[in-house]
Chain A
């Protein structure tokens, strides 16, 4: 009986959490897409500086990671494929798994580590130093002021980063292809491009936009619900990272299943 009530308790807590996320994401979306037409302009300057932080500054580390992931994928695929003498399919395997799955996912995880945690820490610190309260007493909505620029930056930059990640992954794979599988660089790239359908890339990009919304909502919600004291900021940051990774995987599963069932293939 106690077990049942505990399970019920955590289910309602979970649903309430998802509800708060949806509410926060919804309000950020309102201020991004509807607000500007109702005299509540977006702070473009802040959005641009967020976009630099989320996007441009993530490029070096993201490039390195996805290049290696592409190379690893090629090695793993070749391990099986060479038994069937099908090693030339390495390019296809890498291109499809990068653009459909690993490109968006690895990008999201890198962005969670760099920006999701930073959102929670920044907003959490502002909560602790009463800056969020100050915004409210000045009749300035913290969601409009703080969350919306991050939201806009995320939904634009995450798809861009994902395309970059796909490209770097394919380049990583080509290192194996050229050195171990008798490809020339040009042939490897054209084999990769030929194997991809537009659908593979688009579904990955749709997922990456959803990941961006999830990461922003979780990071900002954790920041806004920070309790009193510096250690609470640390706790919020940790929770933001863990919850974001978990929810990104859940969103990934939901959308992959969705694409699977609506595709005619």
Chain B
């Protein structure tokens, strides 16, 4: 009876709205605390955009969510498991269900695009080589790179690299997809193409997507909800409309792209620099 109830509870929590719950997350680099106790939830099937300026801690937050940084304290629940306190093999099981697209693509330079995309399949599945070939073509088609499997990453343009990286992140049919600065270093047209790709993935697969960016236009286009982070704290969290309507000064400053007050004196400038460094 007890066991049944626990089992019921388990399925219930698996099907609850939150796929990821972050509770009081703190992360340090050495002695500097980067994130000062952050809490929020990510719902199943939504696209959440994490906004913030340089050095705000948004990239650290993303790296912590995929297990690349260890939190100092706090909890990160992904699919019912607290990844801040699980074994390496349990973490690997979760990682097989998430995909991550890195800022520069992070494709392996010594492998072709096809080998890059097929790598997770070859590593983690016992699929026939012919099946892998078919899946590889499908994934490349999804990102608009059909026919490019024999190219080396160095032969691709910036936008194509990003697309190939997305194809690799999609290889294992993940439930959650993470993007680190998807439009960084791309011209506006190519960047818009990547935004379009994210929207298509969301509509086609009902995937949960978490995007870290500082590009406002892109955020407005793809986000269901946004989190604004500043100096390691959450400033605001809400739907795109709520954020647009927000009257909080810091939110307005970020969304209206108002510059920090000009620093007139040299001494103030130096102080600002050191504070900036400290907050990083």
Total cross-chain contacts (CB, 8 A): 47
Do A133 and B92 touch (CB < 8 A)?
no
Do B68 and A138 touch (CB < 8 A)?
no
Contacts A137-B66, A137-B68, A140-B123 given; indicate if A129 touches B104 (C-beta within 8 A). Answer: yes
A258 CB–B CB distance under 8 Å: no
A134 CB–B CB distance under 8 Å: yes
- A:129-153 near B, CB below 8 Å: 129-131, 133-134, 136-140
Contact digits for A85-104, partner B, Cβ 8 Å, 1 yes 0 no: 00000000000000000000
Contacts A129-B106, A139-B124, A140-B123 given; indicate if A134 touches B95 (C-beta within 8 A). Answer: no
CB closest chain-B residue, reference A144: B123
- B:108-122 near A, CB below 8 Å: 108-109, 119-120
Q: Smallest Cβ distance from A115 to chain B, in angstroms? A: 16
Contacts A131-B108, A133-B68 given; indicate if A138 touches B103 (C-beta within 8 A). Answer: no
- Give the number of chain B interface residues (Cβ < 8 Å): 24
Do A134 and B106 touch (CB < 8 A)?
yes
Interface of A is mostly: helix
Which single member of B91, B103, B123, B168 contacts A130 (CB below 8 Å)? B103
B98 CB–A CB distance under 8 Å: yes
Do B119 and A137 touch (CB < 8 A)?
no
Q: Smallest Cβ distance from A72 to chain B, in angstroms? A: 39
Contacts A129-B104, A129-B106, A131-B106 given; indicate if A136 touches B123 (C-beta within 8 A). Answer: no
Residue pairs across A and B with Cβ atoms less than 8 A apart, 9 shown, are A126-B108, A130-B102, A134-B100, A134-B108, A136-B67, A137-B66, A137-B98, A138-B168, A140-B120
The chain A residues found within 8 Å of chain B, CB to CB, are 126, 129-131, 133-134, 136-140
Q: A133-B102, A134-B106 are in contact. List 4 more A-B contacts (CB 8 A).
A: A130-B102, A133-B63, A137-B98, A138-B168
